[in-house]
Amino acid sequence: LCRSLGRGGGGGGGDNTPLITEILSLRQKKAEMLGYKNFAELSCARKMATPAKAMELMNDLRKSAYDVAVKEKQELAEFAKTKGHEGEIMAWDEGYYAELYRQEKLSFNEEDLRPYFPLPNVLKGMFGLAKRLFDIDIEQVEPPPPTWNADVRFFEVKRDGKAVAYLYLDAYARPEEKRGGAWMDECAARSKAMGGPDGVRLPVAHMVCNQSPPVGGKPSLMTLREVETLFHEFGHALQHMLTQQDYGLVSGVRGIPWDAVELPSQWAENWCYDKRTMDTLALHYETGEKIPIDLWNRLKEAKNYRAASRLLRQLQFSVSDLTLHSEGVPSGSSPHDVYRKVAETYLVSQPLESDRFLCGFSHIFAGGYAAGYFSYKWAEVLSADAFSAFEEVGLDQEDKVKETGARFRDTVLAMGGGRDAAKVFEDFRGRPPSPEALLRHEGLLKVA
């Protein structure tokens, strides 16, 4: 079964490897026609990172994670032996024993947290955090304007008592008419050209999630993952709503490089692991109790479980993508040979010979991440570094946290695509980004 899944679209009459080769060839021709050496350079022309800088970051992260990943594999093999496993841990064994280890050794089940995350409390705490950091008030409008569903809520965002933006929230799943996942998008962007009597049209955002609706008198109870997702989309919405750009094409999330647009969203997720913040929103829906410290500690430990192995897997995808779009496929080789060659450096457990992951790598062959899959990790570095600015002043130092929040609001959230993303980050942080905070958050920072 594992071998068959690995082959994916790479075997029999459905082998799409020739299509991958053709796509890579056409992209190279396109790059040359536009005056670029290769497609990776073309892709990065409108990103923060150059191909060389992206590869440098991937390699730096690999150095910090590789030895830890080797240790993680050894620990998993030892655990498997205690369960009667004989011989080497194979690809089809790893996932099973990793999950068994997590359940037995970490004693953490996300469902244990669900009673502590009723949606009304989560929204109140999340909006309270926005008030604390950015001095804004987010209030539900009653009665709401016409919406596409009765469950959709409409909020007004105010600063100093004056409306600055509006927000729709469509929180609940409706499988019969609504696709899965979660997203933020704009209804209207801030625009001087489209302005009303006050000269500026205010931005309007909508956030869409897919969590369980209230049932049997109980409020909508969220998993930790759903809380993170809500914060993630709220980070995007904040950048759209708090923009100070008056020109629509660079207002809010418009015009921001692909590898920087996830900065506010991933930054917002970090607050889900700040105990003070969680204590304002994680309250048991029946008793009002906060998350017990023992459960909180197990949550934090589970967060970084096999962090090195997970990081290396993402680096493998990113470097394979960059290599295919910069160096191409050597004569006499296939794209899968390039993927396996990268794996020799970036993975502890090597792919099976039959592995055809690239045949289903839709992000880079059927989506918008060609020569840009590294953007996920690049943005994680930015977001972790941005959050560390708050950690450095002390998350319990209220005046300094508010001061840092105001600076984040007036740079990262305000500038949109109207200023170079690297300069915006330096406006906030005072220096270029560093991966140190990300490695520390993942438990991978080497201590001298």
pLDDT digits (tens, 9 = 90+) for 228-267: 999 999 999 999 999 999 999 999 999 999 999 999 999 9
- 223 pLDDT band (50/70/90 cuts)? very high
Q: Which of 249, 250, 201, 260 is nearest to 419 (CA)?
A: 250
Residue type at 36 in one-letter notation: Y
On the question of pLDDT at 13 being above 70, the answer is no
Whether 119 has a pLDDT exceeding 90, the answer reads yes
Predicted pLDDT at 340: 97
pLDDT of the residue at 311: 97
User: Does the pLDDT of residue 52 top 50, yes or no?
Assistant: yes
pLDDT score at 91:
84
Give yes or no for residue 348 having a pLDDT over 60: yes
| Band of pLDDT at residue 15, cut at 50, 70 and 90 | confident
Q: What is the mean pLDDT of residues 377-386?
A: 98
Q: Alpha-carbon distance 367 to 23, whole Å?
A: 12
Cα–Cα distance between 313 and 315 in angstroms, integer? 5
CA angle 311, 324, 333 (to 5 degrees): 115
Secondary structure letter of residue 19 according to DSSP: H
306 in Cβ contact with 342 (< 8 Å)? no
| pLDDT (tens digit per residue) in 263-321 | 999 999 999 999 999 999 999 999 999 999 999 999 999 999 999 999 999 999 999 99
Q: What is the pLDDT of residues 199-216, one digit of tens each?
A: 899 999 999 999 999 998
Is residue 233 among the annotated active site residues?
A: yes
Residue 197 has pLDDT above 80, yes or no: no
More confident residue, 380 or 197: 380
- Rounded Cα distance between 52 and 346, Å, is 17
Does the structure show a pLDDT above 60 at 5? Answer: no
The predicted pLDDT at position 259 comes to 94
Q: How confident is the model at residue 448 (pLDDT cuts 50, 70, 90)?
A: very low
pLDDT at 56 over 70: yes
pTM as predicted? 0.93
Q: What's the order of all strands across the beta sheet hosting 204-211?
A: 137-140, 153-159, 162-172, 204-211, 183-188
Strand partners, 205: 167, 186
Confidence of residue 108 (pLDDT cuts 50, 70, 90): confident
pLDDT value, residue 7: 58
Identify the pLDDT of residue 115: 97
Pairing mode, if any, of strands 204-211 and 162-172?
A: parallel
Amino acid in the structure at residue 88: E
Dihedral in degrees, nearest 10, Cα atoms 365, 370, 371, 373: -90
The pLDDT assigned to 447 comes to 46
Q: How confident is the model at residue 11 (pLDDT cuts 50, 70, 90)?
A: low
Instruction: Provide mean pLDDT across the span 178-198.
Output: 90
pLDDT exceeds 90 at position 195: no
pLDDT for 388-420, tens place per residue?
Answer: 999 999 999 999 999 999 999 999 999 999 999
Catalytic pick among 72, 186, 233, 269 = 233
Mean pLDDT of the chain: 94
Position 105 confidence tier, pLDDT thresholds 50, 70, 90: confident
